[in-house]
Structures are given as C-alpha cells and as structure tokens.
C-alpha cells in the first residue's frame, strides 16, 4: 500500500524490497515480482532499494542472473558473509552520486576502515567460489523440511521458491525447541513464540543436516510420548 500525503505521516521516499525474503521463510522473489513492485514505486516518485543480503540464494534458486532480479532497483546491498561464507562484509551498489553519499554515511557512522583489503580479499574469494554451491544449501534445507513435514507437533512453513531456510511452527514454545536442540548440538533460532528458523550453510554437510533432522524429530517424538 502506498502511503498517501498526509501531515500525520512521514513522507514516503523509498520502497525497500528484500530478496530472499527472510520473514517469508527465505523465499526467493521472482524478477517479475521485483520489477512490478519497483514499477509502482517509481511511478509514485519513490526510489527502490533491494536488501539482497541473500540475493545470490534467490538467483541460484530461481536459476536467473542476480542482475535480472535487481535491474529495476536504484540501489542494492548484498552480504558476503551469510551463505557466501566470507567472515564479514556487505557491498552496496548504486549510481555514483548515491555511492558518494553512502561513503559519507559510512564514515559518519564509524564504518570507515583502514587495511580493509584483507577483508575484501575474502569477499572476492566468496564471490568467485561460493555462489554456485548455494544450491547444496538449498538441497540440504529441502532434506530437512522433508524430514520434518508431517511430524506431529510441528509444521513446516511452505513457500513457493524455498532456499536455505526452514521455518517451523511448533505447538510447544519455540524457545523450548531451540534449547533442546542446542543441548544436542543443533543451533537454531526462535523467531517468535511458536516459530523457529533453521538455516543451512556451507559448514553443514548432508550428514550434519540428517543429524539435525534426527534431533528435531526426536524432540517432537519424545515430547509427544511424554505428553501421551
Ligand atoms: C535480510 C538482511 N539484510 C541485511 C542484513 C545486514 O547485513 P550486514 O550486517 O552484513 O550489513 C542482514 C543481517 O543479518 C539480513 O539478514
């Protein structure tokens, strides 16, 4: 919904898109959907930014070049850590005037860094070696989702184009699942009272994902047995 001019409201200047969409269980958003949303925003005089922290996951899942996903955006940020596996780093891209302002804000906010080349080198390595292999993370997430689908006490949040996340709605408090899993060496995250998020990445192989599936199904089976 576009905010209409009203003195009670802030003035809308930017449409912020996210791809993949974290709150939507890491769903990859198609190039057409991105372009359609950007078209509406541009028509209303807004600029368009894509938070592409996981843009390469979206591109791999959709089988498209990442540039196609953001061709209608004015600025794009991508993250070099997360799935790409660099220890740190994000990159923002936009036109020259915008990047001049970005640099100013980076400095103002304390983000200026000397000798950053060593970090940039890790980012360049990630960009040249770790994009195609994101498909393995997606396949591993699909294995985890398949193992848990149909398990009593938990339901997998289904999305049209999944990537490296599995979200689970749980009958018991999410934190209880997280704590039990952590006790067995599986680190997942409580997103809300009854929703947990599991993320696959390059440090998890198929065996580790199988073990995570066993731990989680064991938790739900044990809880149900105890409850019964
Ligand atoms: C969707 C999304 N955007 C942006 C960020 C911020 O990334 P960074 O701290 O590398 O700038 C995150 C970090 O978790 C994220 O999940």
Please name which of 159, 129, 127 lies closest in space to residue 55, comparing C-alpha atoms: 127
Work out which ligand 1 atom sits closest to the CA atom of 89. Answer: 10
Question: Which residue's CA is minimally distant from atom 2 of ligand 1?
Answer: 53
Pocket test for ligand 1, best of 25, 28, 58, 79 (most atoms within 8 A of CB): 79
**In whole angstroms, what is the distance from residue 202 CA to residue 126 CA?**
11
pTM above 0.85, yes or no: yes
Question: Which residue's CA is minimally distant from atom 3 of ligand 1?
Answer: 53
Pairing mode of beta strands 75-79, 47-52? parallel
Provide the pLDDT for residue 224.
Answer: 63
Provide the pLDDT for residue 128.
Answer: 97
Q: What is the largest CA-CA distance in the chain?
A: 64
Domain spans, the chain: 14-129, 134-227
**In whole angstroms, what is the distance from residue 14 CA to residue 111 CA?**
23
Question: Which residue's CA is minimally distant from atom 11 of ligand 1?
Answer: 90
**In whole angstroms, what is the distance from residue 220 CA to residue 58 CA?**
31
What is the average pLDDT across 147-176? 97
Contact call for residues 53 and 79 (beta carbons, < 8 A): yes
The half-sphere exposure of 2 on its side-chain side, counting CA atoms within 13 A, is 15
- Give the pLDDT band of residue 1 (cuts 50, 70, 90): confident
Contact call for residues 195 and 166 (beta carbons, < 8 A): no
CATH of 14-129, one of 3.40.640.10, 1.10.1040.10, 3.30.420.40, 2.10.240.10: 3.40.640.10
Provide the pLDDT for residue 227.
Answer: 54
Provide the pLDDT for residue 214.
Answer: 97
Q: Indicate whether 220 pLDDT > 70.
A: yes
Work out which ligand 1 atom sits closest to the CA atom of 18. Answer: 1
Please name which of 16, 11, 17, 25 lies closest in space to residue 148, comparing C-alpha atoms: 25
Q: Indicate whether 228 pLDDT > 60.
A: no
What is the average pLDDT across 41-68? 97
End-to-end CA distance of the chain: give it in Å, rounded. Answer: 47
Please name which of 21, 26, 225 lies closest in space to residue 144, comparing C-alpha atoms: 26
**In whole angstroms, what is the distance from residue 13 CA to residue 198 CA?**
34
Determine whether the shortest distance from the Cβ of 51 to ligand 1 is under 6 A. yes
For 134-227, give the CATH class. alpha beta
Determine whether the shortest distance from the Cβ of 53 to ligand 1 is under 6 A. yes
The DSSP output letter for 27 is B
Residue range 72-97, pLDDT digits in tens: 999 999 999 999 999 999 999 999 99
- Cα–ligand 1 centroid distance for 53 (angstroms): 5
- Give the pLDDT band of residue 190 (cuts 50, 70, 90): very high
């Amino acid at each position: 919904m576009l905010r209409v001019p009203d003195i009670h409201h802030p003035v809308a200047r930017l449409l912020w898109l996210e791809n993949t969409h974290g709150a939507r269980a890491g769903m990859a958003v198609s190039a057409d959907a991105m372009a359609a949303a950007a078209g509406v925003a541009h028509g209303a005089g807004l600029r368009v930014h894509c938070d592409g922290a996981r843009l390469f996951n979206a591109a791999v899942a959709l089988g498209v070049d990442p540039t196609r996903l953001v061709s209608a955006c004015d600025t794009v940020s991508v993250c070099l850590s997360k799935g790409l596996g660099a220890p740190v780093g994000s990159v923002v891209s936009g036109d020259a005037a915008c990047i001049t302002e970005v640099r100013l804000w980076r400095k103002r906010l304390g983000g200026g860094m000397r000798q950053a080349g060593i970090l940039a080198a890790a980012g360049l390595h990630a960009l040249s070696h770790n994009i195609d292999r994101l498909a393995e993370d997606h396949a591993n997430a699909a294995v985890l989702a398949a193992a848990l689908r149909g398990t009593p006490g938990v339901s997998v949040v289904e999305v049209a184009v999944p990537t490296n996340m599995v979200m689970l709605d749980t009958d018991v408090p999410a934190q209880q699942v997280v704590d039990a899993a952590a006790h067995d060496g599986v680190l997942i995250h409580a997103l809300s009272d009854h929703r947990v998020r599991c993320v696959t990445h390059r440090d998890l192989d198929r065996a580790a994902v199988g073990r995570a599936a066993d731990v989680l199904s064991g938790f739900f089976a044990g809880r149900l047995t105890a409850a019964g």
